[in-house]
With several copies, the nearest count.
Chain A
Amino acid sequence: MLYTINKSPLMFGNLKSVLRVAPTGDPILLYEDGVYAAVKGAASEDLLAAAVADHPLYALKADLDARGLVSLADGVQVIDYDGFVELVEQHQVVPWL
């Protein structure tokens, strides 16, 4: 299934928590404030690396651009809304709000 995260990683436990449930191999999408987890050099980078080790990890371009985030951690795949829909074609969705 596709797990989606819309909260920032340093003030919300959502990304940390989803890793306890999402099975290895299931994709994770960062969107809205969730995209802050995709940046390089933040204190959340270890968490992101743990996510990338076990899951295909995507971040939504429109939300990255809005927030001025250009320097992304290794393993993050940037997709647009068309890509979001494509992931939903391939997977059922678990919004981890």
Chain B
Amino acid sequence: MKMGVLVLEGPYQHEAADSAYHFVRAALARGHEITGIFLYTDGVNNANGYIKPPGERNIGQRFSELGAEGIPVVACTACARFRGFRRDMVSENVSLSGLGALSEYLRESDRFVTFGD
């Protein structure tokens, strides 16, 4: 099936970004296609390429890796401006875009799952 994912919270503060990652990994393992992961509101902070958690899971790198595997991972441009998250901070294989990307994932998906607080 085609599944889309929305993430509404940033890394570490809430479990949402972790849950989204584990869900996506399990969906891929079951052979599903992820139409896209849209990082919205504080969720954009998961796209930060400079995350360096000493001795802990790197949530930023996880989303970057999903991007490297060909899954569209997109952070909301407007939310990024509100949070001082600049284009040069975006991790590899992740990009900034508008709500059109969210609409596209919704349109293409058989299922859509949101993780937030």
Contact = CB atoms under 8 A, between A and B. Distances in A.
29 contacts: A6-B15, A6-B19, A6-B117, A31-B19, A32-B15, A32-B19, A80-B26, A81-B22, A81-B23, A81-B26, A82-B26, A84-B23, A84-B26, A85-B23, A85-B32, A88-B27, A88-B111, A88-B113, A89-B1, A89-B30, A89-B111, A92-B111, A92-B112, A95-B114, A95-B115, A95-B116, A97-B8, A97-B114, A97-B117
B56 to A, nearest CB: 14
B7 to A, nearest CB: 11
A10 interface: no
A92 B25 CA distance: 19
Contacts, number: 49
Nearest to B25: A81
Interface string B89-115: 000000000000000000000011111
Contacts of B73: none
Contacts of A50: none
A43 interface: no
Nearest to B30: A85
The secondary-structure label for the interface of chain A is helix
Interface in A44-97: 62, 80-82, 84-86, 88-89, 92-93, 95, 97
Given A31-B19, A32-B15, A85 B116 contact: no
Interface size class of A (residues with CB under 8 A): 10 to 19
Contacts of A89: 1, 30, 32, 111
A62 B21 CA distance: 13
A48 B30 CA distance: 30
Interface of A: 6, 31-33, 62, 80-82, 84-86, 88-89, 92-93, 95, 97
Nearest to A4: B113
A79 B64 CA distance: 28
